[in-house]
Amino acid sequence: MTDAAALPGQPRGGVLSGPATERAVNVLAPNASAMTLDGTNTWIVAEPDSDLAVVIDPGPLDDGHLRNVLDTAEKAGKRIALTLLTHGHPDHAEGAVRFAELTGTRVRALDPALRLGDEGLAAGDVVTTGGLELRVVPTPGHTADSLSFHLPADRAVLTGDTVLGRGTTLVAHPDGRLGDYLDSLRRLRALTVDDGVRTVLPGHGPVLDDAQGAVEFYLAHRAHRLAQVETAVENGHRAPAEVVAHVYADVDRSLWPAAELSVRAQLDYLSEHGLI
């Protein structure tokens, strides 16, 4: 058995739901799958001495899960004051409208179509609720509307699907773009180097205790896959499905449709840069 500390990002073992840092608690949604890993992580974030909390990614439209999030906050003496979305994929955002009904909160997101209320989210915004400070970090690439949230007090960053707690994520072509994704990973790496971020609180999978190691692994993995795709094209495998069969031969076939999205994004990137 591989020691978790030896894996990229040092993923924590044990139960996924529950407290992760001094200010962040995870409530795991019951939607486990090959794409969502153990399920969607719904984060309740609050200052320890405040009665107000922020929820990030309510998750799927599952009333039991949404009420569990609300109950978890109430048992901790917190009232949900605001809902934030990292991006619009249904496993993160589908339950947002119902959750807003249950809590009476606004929903803030980058995409106007996902918002409830007048306020959105943009690069450089600082969300302050009950003394909590969350800094909005644009991290497009997985999707065009992907955001991360820097939690300075815990030296943590909530990454949605930009960095996962296990494995790697997909670039959801055509909405997601590889060039944007690589820039986003570099932006996250800068947080680890310049701002002391140590912990990744991902949208799926376990908490990562080595944020810099996780991001550097992601960058190296992307460079390796990109080189493999370029070589496959040079060897005559030009159709995306052919490239997937060649490059992702060791990956479970159930994941090949997702892999094809990433391959299409990689082919676009290589073409844009004159490499194929």
What the chain holds in terms of domains, given with CATH numbers, is: 18-212 (3.60.15.10)
State the average pLDDT over residues 183-209.
98
Taking Cα atoms as reference points, which of 66, 1, 76, 79 lies closest to residue 29?
A: 66
State the average pLDDT over residues 193-220.
98
Helix (H, G, I), strand (E, B) or coil at 162: coil
Helix (H, G, I), strand (E, B) or coil at 74: helix
Q: What's the chain's Rg over C-alpha atoms?
A: 19
- What angle in degrees, to the nearest 10, is found between the helix axes of 211-234 and 178-194? 150
pLDDT at 1: 33
> Which amino acid is present at 102?
L
Token couple for 246? 């060649």
Q: Over 50: is that where the pLDDT of 124 sits?
A: yes
Residues in Cβ contact with 256 at an 8 Å cutoff, skipping those fewer than 6 apart:
244, 245, 248
Residue 107: beta bridge partners? 83, 116
pLDDT at 5: 54
- DSSP 8-state symbol, 94: T
Alpha-carbon gap, residue 46 to 51, rounded angstroms: 8
State pLDDT tens for residues 65-115: 999 999 999 999 999 999 999 999 999 999 999 999 999 999 999 999 999
Label residue 36 by pLDDT band (50, 70, 90).
very high
- DSSP 8-state symbol, 161: T
* H or E element in which residue 42 lies: strand 41-45
pLDDT at 4: 58
Helix (H, G, I), strand (E, B) or coil at 262: helix
Alpha-carbon gap, residue 206 to 201, rounded angstroms: 8
Torsion from C-alpha of 212, 217, 218, 224, nearest 10 degrees: 150
Alpha-carbon gap, residue 89 to 112, rounded angstroms: 14
This prediction's pTM: 0.95
Chain Cα centroid distance, residue 70: 21
